[in-house]
Amino acid sequence: MPLGWALIVVQFGYLALRLAERWPAGRVLAGLTLLGLSLPPWYEEFAAPARAWYYPARGWMLSHTPVWIILTYGGCIFSIAVLALEGYQPRAWGRAVVSGMLAGAAFMFFGVCGYAWLGQG
């Protein structure tokens, strides 16, 4: 899972930087956040029948996916895009490390808040 998230950070961070060359930052953030909100149900639809993992049916669900998971993914992708746009500077390794630490903290924040808000069932 950590390798999977590392790949997601690189993909969405790069995508944010490239899209920002053509679109305003607000449109980039909105587009990537909406994409992030659409990914979890797609993953979960494959995982449940494959018996890879599942979530017990409690709280708000969209098919096999708890709504708090969907909101957590959206928040994580939003934080990746914001930190890529604000934190990227060529050859500035210190900024990259700080942005990575802030992204990790944002992932925890969105996961904990999403679960506390909607995951209790």
Is pLDDT at 53 greater than 90 in this prediction?
no
Provide the mean pLDDT of the chain.
88
User: Nearest CA to 85 among 28, 39, 38, 33?
Assistant: 28
Whole-angstrom Cα distance, residue 44 to residue 73?
12
Is pLDDT at 121 greater than 60 in this prediction?
no
Is pLDDT at 1 greater than 90 in this prediction?
no
Is pLDDT at 48 greater than 80 in this prediction?
no
pLDDT score of 3: 83
Exposure string over 41-76, b if 16+ CB within 10 A, otherwise e:
beebeebeeeeeeebeeebebeebbbbbbbbbbbbb
Is pLDDT at 21 greater than 70 in this prediction?
yes
Q: What is the mean pLDDT of residues 88-113?
A: 90
